[in-house]
Structure 1
């Protein structure tokens, strides 16, 4: 009912403008500008949420996504695999881009593949490319932070109780996230996760199952040989050929398209956003082919603009608009308060078999939230095919201060990323990790192959943060109907948890506010 009321209010408010403003734009543009009521840039967690809620409210919406659409095939060959990568592995790169070391990059055809990396000063930031954004390449971990830690990052203007009661459950229900069933956890494919669980218990640390957006029945079909081995074979970073991963193209985005009000346009790379007349926005993009060749430049005008190109993409668009003065009222906080979620990686050396190249990552989390130095969590992350037995790769996360930043490089027309990799905050969090690993090692006779490393992050956050660039619902200061709904909003950390659930929950909250306030 509320969606019908929202739609009725929207149509009533737009009727007068449509009779003069919309038709005037279409006519005066002489085919140059395409008018649409709402544009969403990007189709990751924030963009997918915005698209669905706009579509349900009856608002004509176009989603501009730089990557291609990846349809799961019956043959199970949509994506390449980590042991046999090809052009599908990387976004317009002549080489694979997974971390090196331990992975040695390999030459591939230049193609609009699923995984992209932003090479920065002090850090590399990984992100997805395609319809579904980061959900195509993430490990499907759907992790809710605690209230106490949430408020170490976020302002009190965001009510955790509301997120906990309304928005976190809403997102989990659509992603169909659940903990790993015991029969699958007990299989040979999840030996590393069981070992980590047992080691935590011996060390007196809390270990628990966490929600994962995976269809466990499809995983059972993989185990039975009825589907191509994907999740059980550790295939997550380049996509999951069995369809077991509940990526956004299979829920939020397909639901948005089913409303009949949302059109997703893949292979549309947005290059410029600017103010148009009558309080509207112009969005300019290049339509490309699957080799990255520009086919045509397009220009859209919209009443409502939602930025959801991820921490790197959204911040870069805003920095470009600020530098080129196409959004003149942007403040000087754009590009600041960026962080890595304190992602760290290391290898734990065990005495026996670990099967760490099998199964999916993060089904078990070790939580050391009472760590006397700083709270941390540990998750087994997915190893690469040549990792030997006896090794368990571990991803650590914590609460990093948002000390990174992006600036606009006029010569390259791109954003440059900077991260102080040896700051006092990093040193403190490193000590906290070492404290937790020491407890594990002493209790289990394990060792670390190397100290925790911080050369890359899979969870880039910030650049257009709440309270600095946007209000607590994502509206950009000084700009009516311009919203940020992705990880750019978040100042560096989602408080000892993987970010996807919190990004989507905040987007749901923002869209509720927007739809209830359409004039």
Structure 2
């Protein structure tokens, strides 16, 4: 049967972009469907006060690069746009420790640490990984904390997806023998997470997607997939009919395409939501474990604002340093560019406790004990210049489950272990020490301070690997149980807790998945 495309890829993040390039290299005709917009460097918001260019809230006609999704147990920050999460993430590319490969539903399927090693190296090369060369005020304070804890040897400059040439100077493609776009040296402005306006951040539209387009891959932006229906056979052996609609227009006709294969790469929130809907109608053979084994890296995000006007905490790359605080945990310094102070409207004094009443009382105690300090934080100081965000992660495992709800969205329940919590004693203790070093006060997102609901930028799982459909959604080659030529290649496939930023791991596993697919056979 003749199809419009050999493969249609749903989503253009780390998994989708790898799939687009490698499939196009193998001779396949590829279409990438992305609900977000195309962004050039000059299109990004100068500060996060420019909400229409920063936040993705279509019902308000905001078509930016960052989306916030609130669930009962977690607040998820994710990326939207051509290039997916790479547009808004903090650039870090760490390789997980051994426990990641030996835990979770995938642990017995392969010797993952050995098998993925070459693909991690390939991913680092493709993403232009480089060691952060400079430390600034926020990083130096973390280095001081490392010394105080006696863990100076556990402090490091991370590998980041940034081009460190001469600051602001444009050069010909430094990565792909001239086949990629021109690049400019990082200015260390701290604006990575509102979108790099200086052409220094190695986002996916500058490597994988750029090269895929050169191979003939097509990208359909501002559209989202609403249905995937097997043609003729229930298992998709004859291909699929894919229906899409505009994600930015109120009115618009649906488009329909056919493809031999489908790759789901819309991130956890996109892929799991869509698959849960499709399981109820056009893809009933999907595993009943769909939506289970959702992980969050056991994170906390706590802001600390200094009252020392000599410090500039906005200077540097988004994450320029990290400290391994114990064998299961680490702490990273996160920053926004000067002028990006929107977050202060959603932050309250850090408060912990077992229930909302206790947290509220503790929060008001902080207000009354230090009224002048909080007045300066909220009304006098430049929030981003005086504030760093402490990102604390743990590889300790606990899982959630996402289910479809009556409103067409998803809701969360606890699956195994304890529910995610913003009240992690180790994180609170580290925050206190860091606050003392920079002479600051801690605040956190309003739902953390009042409801104890933690935030994460690294939601994972929901379509995990396993030996059969009773334990997972996909096999070790990312193929969906029950269907032919259907794969899940994004954060939803991550089957254990990496305890670090997962972008590199998603890229490496995607590279391995694509390596298993044979080249297209030419018609005689």
Sort the TM-score into its range (normalised by shorter chain): 0.7 to 0.9
**Structure 1 segment 74-153 matched on structure 2, within 5 A:** 77-93=42-58, 110-153=61-104
SS in 1 for 2:57: coil
Per the TM alignment, residue 517 of structure 1 is displaced from its structure 2 partner at its CA by 11
TM-score by length of 1: 0.78
User: Are 1:159 and 2:111 matched, yes or no?
Assistant: yes
User: Are 1:478 and 2:482 matched, yes or no?
Assistant: yes
2:409 is matched with which residue? 415
1:490 is matched with which residue? 494
**Structure 1 segment 51-450 matched on structure 2, within 5 A:** 51-72=20-41, 77-93=42-58, 110-153=61-104, 154-163=106-115, 165-181=117-133, 185-186=134-135, 190-205=136-151, 206-217=154-165, 219=167, 221=169, 232-260=188-216, 262-278=217-233, 279=237, 280-288=239-247, 291-324=248-281, 326-348=282-304, 352=308, 353-370=310-327, 375-383=328-336, 384-385=340-341, 386-387=382-383, 391-409=387-405, 411-412=406-407, 414-418=408-412, 420=414, 424=418, 426=420, 430-434=424-428, 449=442
1:505 is matched with which residue? 508
User: Are 1:462 and 2:461 matched, yes or no?
Assistant: yes
**Aligned pair in 2 of structure 1 residues 92, 438: CA closer, same or farther (>3 Å)?**
closer
Gaps of 5+ in 1: 1-20, 23-33, 96-109
Are the aligned partners of 2:267 and 2:491 in contact in 1 as well (CA < 8 Å)?
Answer: yes
SS in 2 for 1:424: coil
**Aligned pair in 2 of structure 1 residues 142, 163: CA closer, same or farther (>3 Å)?**
farther
Per the TM alignment, residue 395 of structure 1 is displaced from its structure 2 partner at its CA by 0.5
SS in 1 for 2:518: helix
* Aligned mates of 1:391, 1:422 — CA distance in 2: 35
Are the aligned partners of 2:464 and 2:492 in contact in 1 as well (CA < 8 Å)?
Answer: yes
Per the TM alignment, residue 251 of structure 1 is displaced from its structure 2 partner at its CA by 0.3
* Aligned mates of 2:76, 2:166 — CA distance in 1: 31
**Aligned pair in 2 of structure 1 residues 230, 35: CA closer, same or farther (>3 Å)?**
same
SS in 1 for 2:209: helix
**Aligned pair in 2 of structure 1 residues 350, 66: CA closer, same or farther (>3 Å)?**
closer
Per the TM alignment, residue 57 of structure 1 is displaced from its structure 2 partner at its CA by 0.3
Are the aligned partners of 2:228 and 2:243 in contact in 1 as well (CA < 8 Å)?
Answer: yes
SS in 2 for 1:296: coil
* Aligned mates of 2:92, 2:500 — CA distance in 1: 9
* Aligned mates of 1:298, 1:445 — CA distance in 2: 55
Are the aligned partners of 1:122 and 1:418 in contact in 2 as well (CA < 8 Å)?
Answer: yes
Are the aligned partners of 1:341 and 1:492 in contact in 2 as well (CA < 8 Å)?
Answer: no
Deviations 1:47-90 (A, max 9, x none): 00000000000011111111121123xxxx31112254142112
**Aligned pair in 2 of structure 1 residues 517, 296: CA closer, same or farther (>3 Å)?**
closer
